[in-house]
Amino acid sequence: MLLIETAVITEMKEHINACKKSVDELSKNYHSPEKVNNLLDSAMLQIELACLDMRRLCEMVRPKISVPQRAHSKYHSKTIYGEITLTENGWVHIKLNTLLPHYKIIGGTQYISDSIVRMITQFENDGGELPCFDKAFLAIIEHCDYRSCEAFDHDNKGFKAVQNALKGRLFPDDDQFELSLGLFTVLDAETACHIYVLPEDAAADFFCHKQLDAL
- pLDDT tens string 62-100: 777 765 555 557 789 888 889 999 999 999 999 999 888
Flag whether the pTM goes above 0.95: no
Residue 48 lies in a domain: yes
Tell how far CA 43 is from the center of its chain: 18
Measured CA to CA, the distance from residue 146 to residue 159 in angstroms comes to: 19
Whether residue 201 sits in one domain with residue 106: yes
Residue 70 lies in a domain: no
Whether residue 57 sits in one domain with residue 30: yes
Residues of the chain with pLDDT under 70: 1-4, 66-72, 106, 150-151, 209-215
Tally the domains of the chain: 2
Residue 69 lies in a domain: no
What single letter denotes the amino acid at residue 44? M
Measured CA to CA, the distance from residue 177 to residue 136 in angstroms comes to: 9
The string of pLDDT tens digits covering residues 27-51 is 988 788 888 888 888 888 888 888 8
Contacts of 163 (CB under 8 A, 6+ apart): 138, 174, 179, 181
Whether residue 169 sits in one domain with residue 85: yes
Measured CA to CA, the distance from residue 142 to residue 45 in angstroms comes to: 20
Residue 147 lies in a domain: yes
Whether residue 16 sits in one domain with residue 113: no
Whether residue 84 sits in one domain with residue 140: yes
Whether residue 93 sits in one domain with residue 51: no
Measured CA to CA, the distance from residue 8 to residue 50 in angstroms comes to: 9
Residue 67 lies in a domain: no
Whether residue 86 sits in one domain with residue 55: no
Write out the DSSP string of 1-34. --HHHHHHHHHHHHHHHHHHHHHHHHTT----HH
Residue 135 lies in a domain: yes
* CATH at 153: 3.30.1330.70
Domain residue limits at 84: 76-214
Whether residue 102 sits in one domain with residue 26: no
Tell me which DSSP letter residue 100 carries: P
